[in-house]
Amino acid sequence: MEHKIEVKVYYEDTDCLGIVYHANYLRFMERGRTEYYNNLGKPIWQLNEEGYNFVVFEMKIKFLKPAKLGDVCQVTTKVSEEKSQFRRKMLQRVESKGQLLVDAEVDIICLDKDRQLRTFPPDILE
């Protein structure tokens, strides 16, 4: 499954040159992952209450082109075939005006309330 959200670039997202500050792409992608899981049937806050806490373990990111103030970006999120019951590799892209801006691989692990590794919830293991 592939999921997309739109993110408009506001002044607060930019640096002194009027382009998106690199760390803000992480926020955009976090929103994309949250909405991805929300679309699977349960809101992420409910999964957290049930003891499923999703944590970024590793990230590989390429910044290819900058987004600018006023741009509308599309954040695409999907799960890679490379996954296990304890880890998900999320493939994410940030695009604007038909151009790829950011390309990322984000490894997510699932922890319980005691910060111990646990399997992903059964309804999102697939």
Indicate which residues carry an active-site annotation.
15
Contact 109, 87 (CB under 8 A): yes
The H or E element that residue 49 is part of is helix 44-49
Question: From CA 118, how far away is CA 29, in angstroms rounded?
Answer: 23
Q: Which two tokens stand for residue 107?
A: 């490894």
The H or E element that residue 96 is part of is strand 87-96
Contact 81, 74 (CB under 8 A): no
Is the C-alpha dihedral spanning 59, 49, 83, 119 positive or negative? positive
Q: Which two tokens stand for residue 6?
A: 């739109």
